[in-house]
Structure 1
Amino acid sequence: MKKVIVLLFAILSFCAFSQEDFDRKVILLKSKISKTKGIEKLKLLDSLSRFISVDKVQHNFDSITQETINYAFKFKDYDIVFDRTSALIFYYANRINKPRKAVEVFNDFKNKQMNYEDNDLLARLYTNAGDAYFFSGEIKTSISIYNKAEDFALKDNDSSLYASARTYKASAYIDTGNYAKGAQLLNETASFFTRKKDTFKLLGARIELANLYSRIGFYKEAEIERNQIIKIKKYQGKRASLIPTLYNAAIDENKKGNQHKRIEYLEIAHKKINNNEAFYFKPILYYGLLSAYSQNDSLVKAKNFFHFIEENYGTLENIPYEARYRSCLADYYLGIKKFKKSKIEAEKALAIFSGSNDAEGTYQSYEKLAKANKALGDFEKAYDYSLKYRHSKDSVDNVQKARALSYYQTLYETEKRDFKIASQASEISLLGTQNELNKQRTLIGIAGLLALFSIIYLTRSRKFAVTKKGLQEQFSRNLINSQEEERLRIARELHDSVGQKLMLLSKQAKTKGENDLSDISDNTLEEIRSIARGLHPSNLERLGLTQSINALVYHMDMSTDLFFTEEIEVIDHILDKEAELHLFRIIQESLANIIKHAEARAVKIKIAKTAKDIKVMVHDNGKGFDFETKLKNKSLGLKTLLERTKIIGAILRIDSKINQGTLITLQIPTLHE
């Protein structure tokens, strides 16, 4: 320990000496800049901007960096423009909490419309810009910016930068309520950083994941993540950085009612803190210990912490984390039965928590006030605060349940999709293996009797080929039909079960005046209905095939930038119900592929009927593709189109050329003339 103190003293002495040198160098650089022009001045400005980044506020990092950017743009030195713009955006968004200013810098950068191909710098710049939009509250925009950062990172083959952008994007998804997507991204990046042995970024992903699980009430999962974090940080010997993780674990244990483990986590954190570490977190930890001891009748220990807190924080003009300070004093005074003082402190805490929209702090203050007023004999106020406590806590619990429901719903859909794909692949592989075994047995038998049974062999071979083809076609037909039946079943489950429960939750929330919860319930209900409509086109039964296709085209026209033109004749009641469903799915899959892959600007859809058939044409002006290559690569979407075409006895033709678009034509024979 003595060696550590000596080392710290040496470092502090060095820093004090270095600060003088630092200031002198800044003055010298500014003097040189004032005396130079042109490229030489640009180089000096760039050097100064990079040099003062360690002491940004004192030496006006923002104004100097902006001057560097403007000067670099004047001389078309885009390397400096991009690098310094990225640094300035990061400074505003991540250092001095001015994200709107960072967004302005980014928009100004985009308006300059520079052609630049350094994907590494672009990835970093867009990642910082994503942070700017995220901290400004423009969450959806931040996701699209992070997506661009990922694209640039992939082009630069920088997998670490790609994973970092996805980590930040996960936080954005979590803030939009898409907890399953956020968890998926965080798990992916955690696995990546584990493989890369990037401990710092791995810990960041795991901490975010633990906080996500805690936020939606998955305390067991949060505990597993935090145990991993604690294990890694112990191995690294980083005592101070462990403290927030231990404190958050204590909060979860308190919510679960496990007071023994709550105190255990807080005491471990207390042992790891000292006078030189984690000063910013010290007050929070001490407040937490005072509350825990006071609430669990450890009043001797509580008294020691009370005196420490009062001497070190209570006398300050600006008390750190004042709401929590007042709250822990209220707990202490309740514990030692000084109820008037407890009431005063709880009221002060309530005022701060309410003003900052801290729902948990608010309902905890209501609970303290209910206890204090009851002890003072003011039963009317005690009852009033008790009702407010229950109402506020129920609201928080209901929001948490809605988040968990949304998480499970998204997770269910994702796992269901992945299971279907794996199941289809497994069944197809099994059928292929079985056919191969049958073929081998037949060949072995024929090889022994080749001379005698050559004619029988040829006959059997032909018959087997026909049978195999028939089996494969029948299997594909059954597989697709089973898929449609499963989609219909899931859609009904979502609508009849989950949808009804959400509707009930929304009504209850409205009755209680919980508008935020009601809005969350309504939005989640609408999302579930949208998922159900995607799983099974109920419009076919209600509106008929023609109107269903028109509705599909209209929806895609409204939700994309594509320009649609359509000529759709009425084709209702010409095909049977199964064929109508397959035709709708073929058109739906074709349009979806255009939106996902074609990079087209316009799409034309034409459906015409004759006495003998129905003709469908879907034409786009996108980038096109090599049909044979797609087919050889076993494209699942393309094979599904071909199988559906066979089921309805139609003829499908796909004409596509690179950079010349794609034309899909489908000719379906009608059942009657």
Structure 2
Amino acid sequence: MRLYLLILLLFVPIISIAQDKDLEQNKTLKELNNKHASGIDRLQFLDSLAKEIRYDSTFNADSIFRETISYAQALDSIDMAVKHTVNFINYLNYGTNDYKEAKKIIKGTYPILSEITKPNIIDDFYIEAAYVYSDSRNFDEAIRLFDSAYVYAEKYQSKYMEISKFAKGIAYVNTGNFGDASMTLQEASKMFQAKNDTLYWLYTKSSISILYSKNGFFEEAKKERDELIEIAKHIPSYPNLHLIYYNNAADDNKVNNQKNRIKNLKYAVALNDKAENKTDYESLLKSGLAAALAENDSLKQAEDLIKELELTEKNITGFNKPFYLNAKMRFAFSVKDYPNALRYGMENHTLKTKGDQYEEIQEAALFLSEVYEQIGDNDKAFLHYKNYTKIKDSIGSSINTRVLAYYQTLYETEKRDLTIQNQNSNIALLATKNKVKNQWLLFGGLGLFSVFGFVTVVRSRNYAKKKQVLQEEFTQNIINAQEQERTRLAFELHDSVGQQLMLLTRKLKTIDNEDYGNLANDTLANLRSISQGLYPAALERLGFTAAIEDLVNELDESTDVFFSAEIENTDNHINKDKALHLYRVAQEALSNTLKHAEAKAIFISIEKVSNNIVMTIKDNGKGFDYSKALTTSKSLGMKSLMERCKIIKAQLEVESSIGKGTQIIIKLPIEAS
């Protein structure tokens, strides 16, 4: 009863204040309606009143804005009408979230925009309109309006030049247009840097790093964040340094670098503890750290962090609840408290499925699969694992598509810039030519024409070389992306489909049917063979030399061709990336020989000669015209060898003639250690 009275007493002053506020509003509105001033005085009164109530959510701003805009238009004061229209749109967007009404006001304002006389009003209108469409997730229209805002901001040289470019980049991110998003954010970053707007420049770089991370460019994301961290350390006004470390930790978890993950999360928590608004991110950061500690056997520290969070209700409810649940379920799983792990996991999964963050839904499904597997419910474990792989494959496919789009955008942009530069240079030369021709007539004209012709030839050759370099870089990037995708698919086949087949095989053992068991075993063997073709497991486990020997032995056993090999151990002289490409070169060369050479014997040698690793593949087959093969459409295998050799900076030599067999020599320089 006392608690009830206390709550009632607490509410009395609030009700009283609200009533006083209503009386004040009614008095103001009454004063407005009874005002017998001239038109200009009344407009000035409305103008000042609209300015006062713009950010006051307790005031009935809607009617004041409408009255002010309508009266300003009646007096033909279009500048003031649009200025308060901008304020009204902002109020509807952020004050009431009435996007439908805001869009109606925007469309009704278009016809009078041409009558605006003062600068910086029209770009202000377009930027506010764009944010309405962006916040209501109509990103295509938002991008169009951000473009309009940029045009007028550039005309008036206003602050919205950089901001509209930045906001447009974020809109591209939300449409999944990764290539345009990256290029637009990079442009915004350069603009903020040129204006010395360090804070917005850091925000833009942070957005770029998140964009890279979401699409699997972890090295690029880390590079951006490392630069951000160094700069932000010297800027006290930058509020998000702890979030940069948190995002670093998220990437560390994706690549399974748990030591760095915990290190970055501890940095983030320590920085947040020193911040003035530490409670805003306390649950996010400490829950993340508790989950990481629990998954890495630091159970006492994880438990202490969770108990610390539970002391404040805000940390475990509302917006912060999913982060708290994630820590609780992973701690319960680590201490083998599977009933509670399942309870927290189910609650977390329900919350995640209400949003559109598919990576989080994927993680929630994988966790439930692991819990059900521990408690012996294989059917539910399989169901959730199936949901996990479905989402993961969808995300992986989307990322791969956007990665290729990104490289294509880079290539096309560089090509476009080179073309524009060449065109501008030609225009400048033509203008100079016309000027000199008027002065010198025939002799000057002929001289300039000669110079122009020479410069054009030189520029054309340089452009062709640059274009060739760009094309080679693009091709090499595609090869690297394909190699990454092969590796991902190989591990996915092993970790997901392989595990499912193993589970199926176990179940079939309970059924007295030998045919089913044999079929499952054969399917599993075929799957492992495909996985081996996508990514050689021996290369990862045993090293380059053993992987090549394994490849040669496998081909020797599966074909009628006689193989001989002299392979020196070179594992200490080649890194993992170059080893993979050199392995692929050998694999491609041997495959081409078996398909086309009609050889009876193949010899392969790998040796260290001076500062090079030299690989020689020789056969006694029918040979071919090497120079002709490079110019035909059927030489994709040979072109693939050439591109891979360029990637690892190796020298490729091919000696072949009709009827005399083929010899391929690859010389890979050894990097100084």
TM-score by length of 1: 0.58
Shift of residue 226, structure 1, vs aligned partner: 2.6
Shift of residue 427, structure 1, vs aligned partner: 11
Q: After superposition, give the CA deviation of every residue in 1:169-215 in whole Å (9 maximum; x if it has no partner).
A: 22223333332332222222222222322233223322222222222
Q: Tell me if the contact between 2:283 and 2:323 (Cα under 8 Å) persists in the aligned partners.
A: no
Shift of residue 276, structure 1, vs aligned partner: 5.1
2:286 maps to: 286
Distance 2:459 2:183 in 1: 32
2:46 maps to: 45
Q: Tell me if the contact between 1:26 and 1:52 (Cα under 8 Å) persists in the aligned partners.
A: no
Q: Does 1:472 align with 2:471?
A: no
Structure 1's 63 and 337: CA in aligned 2 closer, same or farther, altered over 3 A? farther
1:598 maps to: none
Distance 1:225 1:376 in 2: 43
Shift of residue 132, structure 1, vs aligned partner: 1.5
2:106 maps to: 106
Structure 1's 257 and 477: CA in aligned 2 closer, same or farther, altered over 3 A? closer
Shift of residue 478, structure 1, vs aligned partner: 11
Q: Helix, strand or coil: the match of 2:80?
A: helix
Q: Helix, strand or coil: the match of 1:119?
A: coil
Alignment of 1:435-454 (within 5 A): none
Q: Helix, strand or coil: the match of 2:233?
A: helix
Distance 1:428 1:111 in 2: 40
Aligned residue type for 1:148:
S
Distance 1:413 1:240 in 2: 37
Q: Helix, strand or coil: the match of 2:297?
A: coil
Q: Tell me if the contact between 1:353 and 1:361 (Cα under 8 Å) persists in the aligned partners.
A: yes
Structure 1's 364 and 50: CA in aligned 2 closer, same or farther, altered over 3 A? same
Q: Which runs of 5+ in 2 are unaligned?
A: 1-16, 430-441, 494-673
Distance 1:137 1:428 in 2: 43
1:273 maps to: 272
Structure 1's 154 and 427: CA in aligned 2 closer, same or farther, altered over 3 A? closer
Q: After superposition, give the CA deviation of every residue in 1:391-411 in whole Å (9 maximum; x if it has no partner).
A: 322322222222211111111
Q: After superposition, give the CA deviation of every residue in 1:9-61 in whole Å (9 maximum; x if it has no partner).
A: xxxxxxxxx99999998777545424314333322222122123343x21133
Structure 1's 470 and 59: CA in aligned 2 closer, same or farther, altered over 3 A? closer
Aligned residue type for 2:52:
F
Q: Tell me if the contact between 2:182 and 2:208 (Cα under 8 Å) persists in the aligned partners.
A: yes
Structure 1's 188 and 485: CA in aligned 2 closer, same or farther, altered over 3 A? closer
Q: Does 1:335 align with 2:316?
A: no
Structure 1's 485 and 221: CA in aligned 2 closer, same or farther, altered over 3 A? closer
Aligned residue type for 1:297:
D
Structure 1's 26 and 131: CA in aligned 2 closer, same or farther, altered over 3 A? same
Q: Helix, strand or coil: the match of 1:91?
A: helix
Aligned residue type for 2:240:
S
Q: Tell me if the contact between 1:239 and 1:273 (Cα under 8 Å) persists in the aligned partners.
A: no
Q: Tell me if the contact between 1:241 and 1:278 (Cα under 8 Å) persists in the aligned partners.
A: no
2:642 maps to: none
Q: Percent identity?
A: 25
2:62 maps to: 62
Q: After superposition, give the CA deviation of every residue in 1:96-150 in whole Å (9 maximum; x if it has no partner).
A: 4333332222112124566113231101111111111222333222222222212
Q: After superposition, give the CA deviation of every residue in 1:193-244 in whole Å (9 maximum; x if it has no partner).
A: 2232223322332222222222222222222333343344432324753333
Aligned residue type for 1:43:
Q
Q: Does 1:214 align with 2:213?
A: yes
Distance 2:418 2:287 in 1: 48
Aligned residue type for 2:75:
F
1:175 maps to: 174
Q: After superposition, give the CA deviation of every residue in 1:514-545 in whole Å (9 maximum; x if it has no partner).
A: xxxxxxxxxxxxxxxxxxxxxxxxxxxxxxxx
Q: Helix, strand or coil: the match of 1:236?
A: coil
Q: Tell me if the contact between 2:199 and 2:238 (Cα under 8 Å) persists in the aligned partners.
A: no
Alignment of 1:108-257 (within 5 A): 108-112=108-112, 115-158=115-158, 160-238=159-237, 240-257=239-256
> Size of the alignment, in residue pairs?
450
Distance 2:138 2:450 in 1: 55
Distance 2:398 2:237 in 1: 35
1:396 maps to: 395
Aligned CA RMSD, in angstroms, stands at 4.3
Structure 1's 67 and 292: CA in aligned 2 closer, same or farther, altered over 3 A? farther
Q: Tell me if the contact between 1:350 and 1:365 (Cα under 8 Å) persists in the aligned partners.
A: yes
Structure 1's 173 and 373: CA in aligned 2 closer, same or farther, altered over 3 A? closer
Shift of residue 364, structure 1, vs aligned partner: 0.9
Shift of residue 270, structure 1, vs aligned partner: 1.5
Shift of residue 64, structure 1, vs aligned partner: 2.4
Q: After superposition, give the CA deviation of every residue in 1:365-410 in whole Å (9 maximum; x if it has no partner).
A: 1221122122222234334433332332232222222221111111
Aligned residue type for 1:201:
Y
Aligned residue type for 2:81:
V
TM-score by length of 2: 0.58
Distance 1:130 1:207 in 2: 22
Aligned residue type for 2:397:
N
Alignment of 1:632-647 (within 5 A): none
Q: Tell me if the contact between 2:349 and 2:364 (Cα under 8 Å) persists in the aligned partners.
A: yes
Shift of residue 477, structure 1, vs aligned partner: 12
